[in-house]
């Protein structure tokens, strides 16, 4: 787990935007996972959420950025499917105890994994952004979680990408 030294930038889960266009971002925490066939996946926590970049031999195939304040980006959809890419998102409101328990379980479950990145924002022990690879078998799957203690929201996404069928940048 990475303890960040920056303020939590997201205000509410419902302000998250989504784009597959390349967005230059300086990650606060990231991890690159090398896969087979020259593929790699970089999971990054941003000051305003996350970015995932899939590459083949250092050539970007896919950028997924979900964050607040992205110019020309769409609101985070509940679902999107196109060219080997599939995104599903779920935003829900929970009470403070449930949010704390879920954030703690998430941190515990992902701690020590070499295919995940977990970042804790200062000011609240349950302000967490986490990303983890889930599977690579013809399709790359990752999950993300964003907790918002100030509003009692948890936003989770599941993305699958088939590089052989997929869109590329």
Residues contacting 67, CB < 8 A, separation 6+: 10, 16, 17, 23, 25, 46, 48, 49, 50, 51
- Whether residue 152 lies inside any domain: the answer is yes
Task: Supply the pLDDT for residue 4.
Answer: 46
- Whether residue 144 lies inside any domain: the answer is yes
119: domain range? 2-161
- Whether residue 55 lies inside any domain: the answer is yes
- Whether residue 168 lies inside any domain: the answer is no
- Whether residue 166 lies inside any domain: the answer is no
Task: Supply the pLDDT for residue 96.
Answer: 96
Q: How many domains, the chain?
A: 1
Of 30, 29, 7, 13, the C-alpha closest to 152 is 13
Token pair listed for 89: 């998102």
Q: What is the 3-state secondary structure (H, E, C) of 33-91?
A: EECCCCEEEEEEEECCEEEEEEEECCEEEEEEEEECCCCCCEECCCEEEECCEEEEEEE
Q: What is the CA radius of gyration of the chain?
A: 15
- Whether residue 167 lies inside any domain: the answer is no
How much is the pTM?
0.91
Q: Under a CB-based contact definition with an 8 Å cutoff, are residues 130 and 144 in contact?
A: yes
Residuewise pLDDT in 10s, the chain (169 residues)? 455 455 555 566 888 999 999 998 889 899 999 998 899 999 999 876 899 999 999 999 999 999 988 888 999 999 999 989 999 999 999 999 999 999 999 999 999 999 999 988 877 889 899 999 997 778 999 999 999 998 999 999 999 999 987 665 5
- Whether residue 112 lies inside any domain: the answer is yes
């Amino acid at each position: 787990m990475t303890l960040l030294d920056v303020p939590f930038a997201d205000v509410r889960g419902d302000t998250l935007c989504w784009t597959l266009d390349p967005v230059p971002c300086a990650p606060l925490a990231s991890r690159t996972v090398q896969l087979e066939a020259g593929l790699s996946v970089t999971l990054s926590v941003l000051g305003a959420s996350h970015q995932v970049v899939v590459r083949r031999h250092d050539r970007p195939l896919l950028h997924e950025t979900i964050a607040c304040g992205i110019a020309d980006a769409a609101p985070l959809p509940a679902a999107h499917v196109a060219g080997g890419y599939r995104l599903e998102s779920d935003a829900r409101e929970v009470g403070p105890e449930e949010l704390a328990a879920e954030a703690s379980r998430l941190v515990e479950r992902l701690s020590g994994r070499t295919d995940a990145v977990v970042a804790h924002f200062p000011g609240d022990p349950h302000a967490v952004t986490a990303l983890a690879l889930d599977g690579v078998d013809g399709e790359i799957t990752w999950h993300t979680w964003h907790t918002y203690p100030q509003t009692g929201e948890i936003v989770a996404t599941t993305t699958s990408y088939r590089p052989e069928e997929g869109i590329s940048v």
